[in-house]
Amino acid sequence: MAFSQETINQAWRKADGRCECSLNKCRHLSKCSKELDPQNKIEWKKWHAHHKVSPDAGGSDNLDNCQILCVECHENTDNYGNN
């Protein structure tokens, strides 16, 4: 399963072009909020659409299960690479 482009676009707008990470292991004060590249081409501003709950664990491909994360934060998630 994968997010549709429309879901990714909606999640991007909801995130306002910023990383939505709030993982404790990333050691943010509250949320990462790193500004991201809308075209996803600038290496240090790249991002991924992340399943909050992985499909393997029953997570959907709906907007409510999608969050925009910078690559660095996404790599810190427990299910990175499993969805």
* Structural domain spans, the chain: 5-75
- Tens digit of each residue's pLDDT (9 = 90 or more) over 5-61: 999 999 999 999 999 998 888 888 788 999 999 999 999 999 999 999 989 899 999
- Give the Cα separation of 10 and 68 in Å (integer): 10
For 36-55, b/e burial (b = at least 16 CB within 10 A) is beeeeeeeebebbbbbeebe
| CA 7 to centroid of chain Cα atoms | 12
**Whole-Å CA distances, 83 to 5, 28, 52:** 16, 24, 10
On the question of pLDDT at 2 being above 80, the answer is yes
- pTM comes to 0.88
